[in-house]
């Protein structure tokens, strides 16, 4: 349950950052573009967080197989 909450908060944080950046860039153009940029930025941020959290996803080759937690390694054996 803790992992699900952590993933949801991570996804929400990335979506909020994406929305803020999109709205800022769109705000340079017009008020309507700020709204659209915020929506698209939020979608992009949530998608990026989802891709990053997927263990078999795009960044799987970049992750190490070893855990930083020695207790988790001992429990797996």
**9: in domain:** yes
**64: in domain:** no
Segment 49-77, tens digit of pLDDT: 888 776 665 556 665 655 555 555 555 55
Domain hosting 5: range is: 1-54
**70: in domain:** no
Would the pTM count as exceeding 0.85? no
What is the structure's pLDDT at 8?
83
Number of independent structural domains in the chain: 1
| Residues 6 or more apart in contact with residue 41 via CB below 8 angstroms | 18, 19, 20, 21, 22, 23, 25
Segment 11-53, tens digit of pLDDT: 888 899 999 999 999 999 998 899 999 999 999 988 888 887 7
**35: in domain:** yes
How many residues does this entry show for the chain?
A: 77
**31: in domain:** yes
């Amino acid at each position: 349950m803790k992992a699900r909450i952590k993933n949801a908060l991570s996804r929400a944080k990335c979506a909020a950052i994406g929305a803020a950046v999109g709205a800022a860039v769109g705000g340079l153009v017009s008020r309507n573009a700020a709204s659209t940029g915020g929506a698209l930025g939020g979608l992009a941020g949530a998608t990026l967080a989802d891709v990053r959290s997927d263990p078999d996803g795009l960044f799987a080759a970049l992750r190490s197989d070893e855990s930083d937690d020695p207790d988790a390694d001992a429990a797996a054996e």
